[in-house]
Amino acid sequence: MKFDKNMKRFVWVAGVAIPAVVAVLFFLPGIEVSPELRSLLNHLPAVNATINGLAFLSLVGSYRAIKRKNLLLHQQLNTTALGLSALFLLSYVSYHITSESTPYCGEGLMRYAYFFVLLSHILLSIVIVPLVLTTYLLGLGQQVERHRKWARITWPMWMYVTFTGVVVYLMISPCYPF
């Protein structure tokens, strides 16, 4: 499989569309849901943090696998991390189209730390979408040298985004009203 124009188009359309859709959701009024469904949806932030944590562990394993020259395991763990990231996105959107954002309740230095981590997480999560898709498709297409070059940039950023997703949850979880 060659990294052709259609793949490039897909990567950049998805790389723009996904963050744009997520951003638009924050300006739309929330969807009203039944109390029963609300009770289930209230668990999604913890689920999202768990998914991010599992993606992080998949990326750690992927790195270790490639260092040990276990290409099959490396590919499987990258596919797992990509699948988990897609699942996270669906769950994240499901929660945020039905729930108002929770304001951070901490004070002092922790408040500044929270907003620094949150802002860096958000900005890198926007940038990471086309990087992950490009790197993944290059690997899938057996373009090893190009895949390696992209992975040197993509992997640490993806690690940071998945790790800080868990950190953001841990910092804001005491602020949830449920």
pLDDT by residue for the chain (178 residues), tens only, comes to 556 788 888 888 999 999 898 888 878 777 889 999 999 999 999 999 999 999 999 999 999 999 999 999 999 999 999 999 999 999 999 898 888 889 999 999 999 999 999 999 999 999 999 999 999 999 998 999 999 999 999 999 999 999 999 999 999 999 999 8
CA distance 36 to 14: 33
* Cα–Cα distances in angstroms (integers) from residue 27 to residues 17, 30, 101, 165, 166, in the given order: 16, 9, 11, 21, 24
Question: How far is it, in rounded angstroms, from Cα 89 to Cα 95?
Answer: 10
Rounded distance between C-alpha atoms, residue 60 and residue 74, angstroms: 10
Of 168, 152, 150, residue with least CA distance to 88: 168
Please say whether the beta carbons of 88 and 51 come within 8 A.
yes
The domain 42-175 having CATH identifier 1.10.357.10: the answer here is no
Helix extents (H) in 26-107: 35-41, 44-67, 71-96
The distance in angstroms from the start CA to the end CA of the chain is 48
Rounded CA separation 88/109 (Å):
29
pTM of the model: 0.91
